Amino acid sequence: MKTALVGDIGGTNARFALWRDQRIDSVRVLPTQEYPRPEDAIRAYLKGVGQEVEDLEAVCLACAGPVSGDEFVFTNNHWRLSRQAFCKELGLSELLLINDFSAMALGMTRLRAGELVDICPGQSAPGRARLVIGPGTGLGVATLVPLADGRWQALPGEGGHVCLPIGSRREAALWERLHAKLGHVNAEAVLSGGGLLELYRTSCSLDDKAATLTTPAEITAAALNGDAYAKSVLEQFCVWLGRIAGDNVLTTGAQGGVYIAGGIVPRFVEFFARSGFAQSFRDKGGMSRYFDKVPVWVVTAEYPGLEGAGVALQSLLEGAPGGQ
């Protein structure tokens, strides 16, 4: 193989790296809005790292949304691609498209020491699935399943679009206002960057309070700096994430553990560890004991999606199973 490239493409940024000797190299992050198409961003990336387009042989792109067929429309950005046209333009012999959180899940198999923070103590049940969930531009969810040969397979899904659960009167009141504005209220409506801002604005509306903060970063910063109202909103965010993560554990049987990934929670790990996440995570009535030994970690690795895309590409080249 001459050159293999992996990409982790979100709503705001596209992360690219070369895949060499089963590891990522020459990582660059490019804003998606600055490029009309993914092909243009890849050309710019290759030029920036001194690689010729003609040397490119295999590519794996981790993309938000369900992956099937020739045409793929990216979630949360303006890009789209045709597999056939993409390969023809770039002269590729291999193009693998996988769900972004399948790649994130496979990236959990490449974590190094110091890249996990314990949130809920526990012990991974042998042979059981693990859940990977993370708020970012959207809410990603995937399941990591152990295989008999020691490898792992990532099962893609769209768990971020399940219905937002209600566990208290205040949550019911918030949901009612969200429903009046959005119609269907999915988990991503509050458990994402834009969702945190939506949750703040809806909370302010419910409490007849002026909404003075205008970005997710401002809300997080205000909460960490002691603003009582911002803290209450961020607390509700953590509680709702616990409810959704717990629901997914029950659905998938993921007693192997839960990885909290994505770009948001690692920014306030200490707050998250003290929040109501753990209580809401296991608040399942008669099934609460199911969570007694389920460990939960926050992932602080810098590029787990790229690592996972590399794992998937390596599996394809070796003819082994992986995520899609």
Q: Which residues are annotated as a binding site for ATP?
A: 7-12
* Distances, alpha carbon 240 to alpha carbons 127, 174, 189, in Å: 28, 12, 11
CA–CA distance, 169 with 42 (Å, rounded to integer): 49
Q: Which of 63, 116, 128, 110 is nearest to 315 (CA)?
A: 110
DSSP 163: B
E-only strand ranges, the chain? 3-9, 13-20, 23-31, 56-63, 71-73, 80-82, 94-99, 116-120, 130-135, 139-146, 152-155, 258-260, 296-299
Residue list for the binding site? 7-12
Q: Give me 262's structure tokens.
A: 């994505």
3-state SS class at 256: coil
